[in-house]
Amino acid sequence: MKNGVMMQYFEWNIPDDGKFWELLKKDAKHLHDIGITAVWIPPACKGTKSNDVGYGIYDLYDLGEFDQKGTVRTKYGTKNELKEAIEELHKYKISVYFDAVMNHKAGADYTEKFLAKEVDPNNRDKVVSEPYEIEGWTGFDFPGRKNKYCDFKWHYFHFTGTDYNQANGKKAIYLIEGEGKSWGEGVDGENGNYDYLMYADIDFDHPDVVEHMKDWGRWVAKELNLDGMRLDAIKHINEGFIKEFLKAVRAERGKDFYAVGEYWKQDINSLNEYLSALDYNIDLFDVTLHYNMYQASTQGRDYDLRNLLSDALVKLHPELAVTFVDNHDSQWGSSLESQVKSWFKPQAYALILLMKEGYPCIFYGDYYRIGDEESPHRLIIDILLNARSKYAYGDQVDYFDHPNTVGFVRLGDKKYPNSGLALLLSNGENGNKVMNVGQNRKGEIWYEFTGNIKDEVTIDENGNGNFLVEGGNIAVWVKKSE
């Protein structure tokens, strides 16, 4: 995928009007024209109600087709509208990645009584009560679907835990009792064992559950003609199941079926261990790089830009890193709020879109809008996407040698005429840097592509150029056309 770019095509505040799939369909040509090669769509399965973003997952087999939870459509529209949008995207050679929410289930149809014991929320391995009977929301029979596509029914023994006892209204983290019942292995070690996240937590050690979920993965990938998946909350899911799930889906859809996992942890060792456990057959979002950019944006000129790529996944496993600036989890008001400040967004997007390594993902909220508020960054992202498609080719040489002015050059590729560029990022005063773009470039005149700087640079006989950048801004230098 030469210079591929993914877009996360949603944010938290999409209107609950069922028009989103139609909007996506209409936008397909525009996305192609600006250089987007794949879209990560929001969770498309029926949630707890029509305004559910999709992470309050109710029925995996209802894509906006059945009258359930007070609605036929999902927040985004109907199944037919989704299929039409995907067909349109494929017409423009844009891949579609489905947001697979498999950690939990919500909005149960009825309660069940069963034995459970409370655990310490800060150490789920520590039991704080004797087993006793609770009444939990764990019964799912999907009456509106009437067994179409699948007749699997969920009961308490298909889950490891829940967080609410209907009998007395108590909220706690309950570990469900039963033969072989325990929190899953192969999950993150935060809070002792981070198997439990929310709602009714699916038991991926239950053989019937494992087969059912693999069946669903094969079904939805084929039903929607998907090209890949974004796997939600994988640090809470048995890593052995994820490995088995991807193997099953790829057996159905082909070995190139794409997968990227959301392992939200600012720790490169945890990400590396997870990749190893999955035999490096999955990409991960570069959460460490995101937090580096967030820190840079909050500290201003006090941040040492030489550290911008420190411990980033894109440095350790460049072929498996999905680089991103922000997403729905980091935006304001989210549980993992860490939104990169607006002044630093151009630097952040210039980095991920113009560097050689990583698979960049643009956030809908940064390109279009958050709620009703239009993004101020659309123009610069368009410019950077244009620069990526025309100039961002060839090997990269880094100049991360100053605390407030860093950059790199891309040396170009003969297959792409005039390709090659020089990028500078600043978080301080106006700066300059002598960078070498290749002796074969001597005598060339380069100009600043974003329009921030009107001066031009002539490359000397050694291939060096003295490139400028304005304070707190970016500069993208490219060869001037004859």
* Residues annotated catalytic, as ranges: 232, 262
Task: Please state, as a whole number, how many other Cβ atoms lie within 10 Å of the Cβ of residue 292.
Answer: 23
Q: Which residue has the tokens 């929310």?
A: 198
Rg, Å, the chain Cα set: 24
Distant-in-sequence, close-in-space partners of 64: CB < 8 Å, separation ≥ 6? 44, 46, 72, 73, 74, 76, 77, 78, 79, 81, 82
Query: Residues 252, 27, 374, CA angle at the centre, nearest 5°?
Result: 125
Q: Is 333 exposed, middle or buried (0-12, 13-18, 19+ CB in 10 A)?
A: exposed
Q: Which of 202, 49, 182, 206 is nearest to 127 (CA)?
A: 182
Alpha-carbon distance 210 to 281, whole Å?
Answer: 19
